[in-house]
Structure 1
């Protein structure tokens, strides 16, 4: 990997902010995909199968290439738009929204790690092939090793929580190098999901996010060459924008889940006729206690949305700095996004849990499927402890401190 030089200053194709026309156009596309996903979302969740057909919908819609450069045939959209798309899909199918979110982040490493002159070949191939990018990057599971051999390296080991790896076209992988000139380096590289020695284990068995294809992958003597490398994992601020990026994607995932739960709960509530026998209301939806619960939830979810939208616009402005980005500026956006992560996690879990209080006992039927929202957010919100996001915000507020750069902070 080349060292950071002046050539890296022209690394990115994102600039400016998303126009309302851009946001509206891509949201319309996402809503169309969401309507198709909604038709059999419960059946697909219960089948617990990898989402091959669902990902084809994303390819056909153009969402798979939303963030890519226009000059190579990509959508040319901004990050604010990508986060809105994730939120829109999560209202219906959070598993598919998660796979797309990881895809956006994984593929963005082309721009975050490579000089502009080296990006064209990667972007042309991924756009023309409509590649989906899964990953095996879980930083708390450092069980992969790249060992030097005559024509490059051989990859061995098992990586857990490899989202999208079993359904994607390419897999972004992190592994430590043993031997040679890169001995001891932790590098990011890309392999073909169909390469010899790549074996998805099919062991994803979670309460929710069942179609996120997040099982383990075993790698056995998988061939890796210099041309597969994107770069070394360092503490260079711009190269590490993937962390605040994925955290904001998570926040929008949780926000979309909460919005979806409220939308279904509203329909269920309006369909009920009789109020509780002790109520003075004529209809169930006019009961003051029901109105109070919905009023509280709508206000809190809308507040999260406002905070998420603000963070998304600021993220685009930070990305546009390229290698001019400082540690302090990166830290500031990470803290900003940590705030959204905190409130989206807590509001989302509470809304998807307590919404049953407003919809009543009949909404707990398995055939209704209102539980899907709670199961999904309860599962994914455990990805990394929200308490440490609170610590991050508190340390900055009280002491002006930023957490060290990592794949979680």
Structure 2
């Protein structure tokens, strides 16, 4: 009895416990559970649709790939058909560029469809290639031992001769001497010296429409002499010379280094200028000095020195008449009468000396050819202390005259 009661008691507690748990699952829980079921169903349907789309995409990719391969096949068949239709025979005739005689055993090479085709010309200088497919830019390469190699475009093959140039006969010689003016104070040209590059260039026609240029270089020796052995060329040769750098001796009125280039801030003088000689250009400008002399008077009362230009483009009448005395020159008469303050000339009225006197004037000859020891030069000072314009006994006129002994 005791055990049965116990069992019944336990069952009663179980029922009570179950009843308590069921009471906790309310209506809200049921609604949430229903939502979870709907979401699960939606997700399953979404996954299924995704699989369908992927399948459709994969199928379309297969269709596209198959169509592309078909297009490639059609293009390949079309290209092969076009190539077959465009294949043709090509004839190349090779001659000597000087004599125009046919050249046998010349090697002719061309590339077609990835293959190299080569043949030699016959006794008539002709070679023929059959059924070649060439591009508009394709060329035939032509060579022969003892000749300069060349090429011809496919569009000219058969229409004009290929001309080869014989380069083995070097019996022709071009010689000469190079001079440059590194000293403008004399009348003798100077030698360029050694190691100046001289190049002979020949233009060689490949055919009636194409050509190429060949160069033969050499160097001058210490005497400026050059010599080049060359083959006969159909159009002769053109000589070119490299640019030469050297110091050039010359007389100048001014240089770019002078802050003020006008007279008398810059006086005529002998100088050396770094010069680049391009002997391929002609009529190159040469710096000019209008006058290689000028006049320098004794300082005035304020210590200022009067400079008078020589016979320049501005002072046409400042002339010195000379006579030859051995290898030198002596002053015989002067006409110094230009005092215009314009164009770089000086105003003598700005200089004041002791009245009614004579002042010494020096002629500065930058060439060193004029005798300056005798006779001396002088200027007459008037009562106002200014240099006076007078006439000389020897027939000169102006502001400077010979000093009488």
Shared fold (TM-score greater than 0.5)? no
**Bucket of the pairwise TM-score, normalised by the shorter protein:** under 0.3
Please state which structure has a larger fraction of its residues in helix: 1
TM-score by length of 2: 0.17
Structure number with the bigger relative contact order (C-alpha 8 A, sep ≥ 6) is 1
Please state which structure has a larger fraction of its residues in strand: 2
Q: Which of structures 1 and 2 has the bigger CA Rg?
A: 2
